[in-house]
Each structure stands twice: as C-alpha cells, then as structure tokens.
Structure 1
Amino acid sequence: MRSPLLRTVGVAVTAALVQLVMIVAFSWPAARVAPRDVPIVVTGPQAAAVAQRLDRVSPGAFDIATRRDEAAARAALTDREAYGAIVTGPSGLRVLTASAASPVVAQQLTALAQRLVQNADGQAPRGPTSAVEDVVAADPDDPRGSGFGALTLPLIMSGLAAATLLTFAVRALAWRAACTVLFAALGGAGVAGVAQNWLSLLPGPYPAVAGVMALTILAVTGTVVGLAAAIGRPGIAVGGLMFLLLGNPLSAATSAPELLPQPWGDIGQFLPPGAAVTLLRSTAFFDGAGAAGPLVILAAWTVGGLALQTVGGLRGRVEPDTASDREPVLA
C-alpha cells in the first residue's frame, strides 16, 4: 500500500505536469503566430514583379496566385480563396483585405503595403503610396475580432460540462441522446441570440448562425457523451484533452490556420473547434462561401458521437460508474 507521502508527491507532480501541459497548449500556438503560405492574389501590369518582391521581403509567408483583373481578385476574397489581394496600376499599389476572414492577416497585409512601395535601397517611396480597402470587413462592433475569438472557449467548455452532466445524470441511452440534441438546439439558439443581438459580434442570418452553433455543440457534447458511453469515465477526460487542450488552441479563432505552426494549423481544422470557427466565419460574413469542408467535418464528428453511443449501448456500458447503486435521474 502506498504511503501518504508517496501519494502526496504523486498527486502534486501530476497536477504540476497537467498545469505545464495546459500552459504549453494555450500559449505555444499564440507565441508562434506568423504567416506561413497565407493565400493572397496579385493582379495588374506589375503583378509578377510584386510577387517576386513579396518573396524577397517575406520568404515563405505567402502563397501567391495571379488573377486576370481586380474583379477576379475581389472575387477570390469573397469566395474565401484568399485573405488579401494586391492590385497594381499606374496610380500605385492598392491592397485589398478581408478582415472578416482574419483581422490579424488584414493587419499584416496593411503593414506590408508600406514595405512594398519602398524603393529597393530602402528609401522612402517616390510617387503614390499604397491604399488599403477592406472588402469583407469584420463586424463594426468587433473590428479586431476579439469578441469573435472569445466565443470558442466557452462554447467548448460548456459542451464538455454538459456532456459530463448528461453522462452521470441520465442513464438510459435513448434519453441521453435526446437530451444531447435538445441541449444543442437550445444552446445554439441562445448563443446565437446573445452573439448577434446583445454583443453584436456576428452579422448574417440568425437561423444559419444558430444552426452552426447548435451543430458545434452537438459535435462536441455528442462525441464526449459517446466516448463516456463506450469506454466509461475515462472517455470524458479523453474528450476534454482532445477538444479543450488540443482543439481550442489550434482553432485559429483569433488568427488564421495559416498563421499557426504547421501541421498543427491544418490539424486544428479537423477538430470541432477549428471547423466551427471556419464555418461560423463563412456563414456570418461570406454568405456560406467555403462552408462545405467544415460542415462535413462537424457532421462527421456528430455521426461519430452517435456511433460511439450506440457502441456503448451494445456493450452495456452506458452507466459510467457501474459500481454505483445510485438511482437514475431519468430511466
């Protein structure tokens, strides 16, 4: 039998390790934010020269494509094919941004505009300087996207908390699944209402925004409920680690996937938090452009959660604590 001293030391060391993991998980992606193959487009008579200049000024920072004219460049932004565009012409350079896609990238492109018009010797530019136009702007009440970025963490945490509550309070598989769906529907409607009507963080049609919120909640809560049903109480911890410590920092809610260290930025888009952020941006600001991929990912997680619940029911492991003789809240 372990001595109290060994148990005390073991608990303290474990808690310290968990703390370190949490600090690294949340701080490391933010500390390593930098452009990495960020998609942008260039157009106009000096497009090739500007692309070469970009490679020299910021090597590896941008994935540059050429468009035939300014209209096509603007379409690339509204279709979520690029984060920004550089339009060249007789009057100088103009930079088009889409701060709704990422305020951080928009700020970086704005700062880059002045560097692009400098002479090769580093002197101040002669002639017209660049102008910046925000083609798809963030919500005017949240221009820096701070409020939008703050939505993800409470959404995931509340989904995990609800999954824990449902797992322990509702024993019957059918009732637990029904409660999960009801919670997602109510939660999606409520969060969308607060985000749009009170906090004014998101534009777009309310039913679509509420649907994205509900699907996100269903993907997170349903998966954790399914994990608990399939493997017992450790499933809750697995879900928390996967969605809170991994998914949330890699969601790019306050930046962009291309700004995170790779391949982690791409991995984050295959987890519910990252997929939810991308889908919410597409729904609220871009009329659904680029929504297909994250929609499929969230749907897949939802179906996976349902499958896990079914597996748990077939294995007779719906009750997370089989040794408990407590009466069920819902039979």
Structure 2
Amino acid sequence: MRTSPFARAVGVALGAALLQLVMVVAFSWPAARTAPRDVPIVVTGPQAAVVAGLLDRERPGAFDVRTAPDEAAARAAIADREAYGAVVTAPSGPKVLTASAASPLVAQQLGAMAAQLRPGGAPVSSPVQDVVAADSDDPRGAGFGALALPLVMSGLAGAVLLTFAIPSLAWRTAGTAIFAVLGGLDVAWIAQGWLSLLPGSYITLAGVMALTVLAVSGTVVGLAAAIGRAGFGLGALTLLLLGNPLSGATSAPELLPQPWGAIGQYLPPGASATLLRSAAFFDGAGGAGPLTVLAAWAAAGLVLVVVGGLRGRSAGEAEHGREPALA
C-alpha cells in the first residue's frame, strides 16, 4: 500500500518537529539548570570546621567539602585536579584559592562566595587567588568551550565523506586514521598557535585532538559499516545531540544536572574537554580517566569496522552462493 503525499508530508514534518524539540532540549536544558552540585573543594586552617558547616548550611548539596592539613596540601589538591578550589582559614580571615583553568565558571562562583564567608558571624576580608589560571588570552574559557562542537561536527562530517568516497573498508579505515592525525595537528595549531587558547606542549595537545577526532569519526565510520546509513543518525544523536551539551566544556561536569554531567564524561566530547584541560594546564593530572574513555571509543569504532567487514563478506558469499553454477 503506497503512502499518500499528504501522509508522507505530515510524517516528515512530525519527525522534523520531534528532532527540533530534542535538539532544543538537549542544548538549552543543561545550560538553564547550571548550578554547583557536589563540587569538590578543600578547606584548611583553624576555622576549617566552621567554614565547612557554614557552606553546608548556606549551600546544601552545592559542595563536596574535604579537609586538608595545610595550605600546601590544599594547593596540591587543586593542582592534581582533586578539587576545584580551596578555602584557607586564618586569624586575619579566609583566603579562597581557585583554578580558572579547571573551570572559569566554578572559579567565578567561588570568588563570589568568598565575600560572603563569615566564620563566627563577623564580616571578614576574603582575598581570592587564582592558583591555576586559564590562558590570559581566554580568561573566561569562551574559546576553549567553543572547541567542543566543531571537533564533533567535523568528525561527523569527515566520517560521512570517508564512507561515501572510499568503497574499500580497509582504505576507509586508513583514511580515518590519517584524517584524525591531520585534524589533531591542524586544530592544535589553531587553538594554540593562532588563537592562543591553550598552553603546554603542542605535540601533546595535537595527540589529544587526534584521539578525539579518531573517537568520533572512527565510531561513526564503524557504525555505518556495521548497520548502514542509520549509523550516521545514531552517531550524530549520541555524539552531537547528547555528548556535546553534556560535555561540561563551557562549565564543569559538576555544574550540570546529575547524573547527566557524569554520563557526559563517558562520551567523547566530555572526555576530550577534561583531557585537554589536564594536558594544557595541569601537567596531565586527572587525565587517565578521559584518556581511557577516548581510547575505548576509538577501539569500539575499529571493532564495528571489523563487524561491518564480516557482515559484508557474509552477504557477498551468500549472494555468490545463489548464483547458478556455470556449465
């Protein structure tokens, strides 16, 4: 039974409206609900217990407050990416340590909170020190946050081009790897050499970018090989519509609605943002987890390519088996 043009138009319009709804919700909902949720911070000094209690009363659920023996230990926790900031108490008043490199938005909120700290009920002066600062050319992290979406979109576009332009699955896989290497070198040069968004080793940053591109494009190429063109849609839905808004690249995973902030760290955009911060500003501290996530996605893409190759071979053998034997 053939579908009438009217029914087809209505169906396509409804599908497009549903996709639009999903996109608006995916991108606007996390941004509209940004707030601190169990953000790890450290308190130390003689009034540490007082400050911890004050934070728990004034901002319940906002901070995961831990104690440290002294200021040096608090700074070490920030440098090791175990905490986003610290409150160091002293008789002269508390001092707030932040790390805008880890999250400019969290650093801003901690700075605003500093002026409200009143241990014992008395107003005090609360200086703020940014101990791991963001790049001076991108102090608010806007440029860094804008890297996530182009990386994902270019990875998706590259996967589509490779799939349609290269019939051979083996050469398509090789092309994906070459694309990832070239993409990593190019994007790292733009981010560091031209826009000056990221300090650190160029080769290290290029490696992170390349692994990100490989995780995205490799997964989509593998999905297309394994399940056909539907793999493009599944890849875009997972990596773009879900992964990008949940990446925390413009804020922090702990500022997103939970458990979505945590889930976002298991997707390439979120893992890439975290690994880039670690590599650029923290000498790799806290990078093992996101590195494992990106490597796992890249490996999954390779597995899907193998599955697609086996499926294609089986289909070819079945087709050959149906051919009449030659006399």
SS across alignment from 1:251: coil
SS across alignment from 1:116: coil
Aligned partners of 2:26, 2:160: CA distance in 1, in Å? 22
Aligned partners of 2:269, 2:168: CA distance in 1, in Å? 28
- The residue that corresponds to 2:320 in the other structure is none
The answer to whether 1:310 aligns with 2:306 is: yes
- The residue that corresponds to 1:325 in the other structure is none
The answer to whether 1:197 aligns with 2:199 is: no
Pairwise CA distance, 1:220: 0.4
Q: Structure 1, residues 260-306: CA drift from partner, whole Å, max 9, x if none? A: 00000000000000000000000000000001000011001111100
Rate the CA distance shift 1:199–1:318 in 2: closer, same or farther, 3 A. Answer: farther
- The residue that corresponds to 1:39 in the other structure is 40
Pairwise CA distance, 1:10: 1.2
SS across alignment from 1:65: strand
Aligned partners of 2:234, 2:177: CA distance in 1, in Å? 21
SS across alignment from 2:95: strand
Q: Structure 1, residues 168-224: CA drift from partner, whole Å, max 9, x if none? A: 111111101110000000000000000001111000100000000000000000000
Alignment: residue pair count: 314
| Equivalent residue letter for 1:140 | S
The answer to whether 1:154 aligns with 2:155 is: no
- Structure 1 segment 149-298 matched on structure 2, within 5 A: 149-298=145-294
- The residue that corresponds to 1:17 in the other structure is 18
The answer to whether 1:3 aligns with 2:4 is: yes
Aligned partners of 1:17, 1:105: CA distance in 2, in Å? 34
Rate the CA distance shift 1:47–1:57 in 2: closer, same or farther, 3 A. Answer: same
Rate the CA distance shift 1:23–1:318 in 2: closer, same or farther, 3 A. Answer: farther
- The residue that corresponds to 1:96 in the other structure is 97
Aligned partners of 1:131, 1:206: CA distance in 2, in Å? 34
Aligned partners of 2:269, 2:219: CA distance in 1, in Å? 13
Pairwise CA distance, 1:90: 1.3
Q: Structure 1, residues 56-91: CA drift from partner, whole Å, max 9, x if none? A: 110000000000000000000000000000000011
Pairwise CA distance, 1:17: 1.0
| Equivalent residue letter for 2:129 | E
SS across alignment from 2:125: coil
Q: TM-score, normalised by structure 1?
A: 0.93
| Equivalent residue letter for 2:204 | A
Contact 1:35 1:62 in 2 (8 A): yes
The answer to whether 1:54 aligns with 2:63 is: no
- The residue that corresponds to 1:322 in the other structure is none
Consecutive aligned runs of 4 or more in structure 1 exceeding 4 Å deviation: none
Q: Structure 1, residues 211-266: CA drift from partner, whole Å, max 9, x if none? A: 00000000000000000000000011100000000000000000000000000000
* Unpaired segments ≥5 residues, structure 2: 316-327
Rate the CA distance shift 1:302–1:51 in 2: closer, same or farther, 3 A. Answer: same
Aligned partners of 1:119, 1:250: CA distance in 2, in Å? 39
Sequence identity percentage = 72
Aligned partners of 1:52, 1:285: CA distance in 2, in Å? 31
Q: TM-score, normalised by structure 2?
A: 0.94
Q: Which moved more, 1:3-12 or 1:195-204?
A: 3-12
- Structure 1 segment 52-131 matched on structure 2, within 5 A: 52-117=53-118, 120=121, 125-126=122-123, 128-131=124-127
Pairwise CA distance, 1:5: 1.2
Contact 2:239 2:267 in 1 (8 A): yes
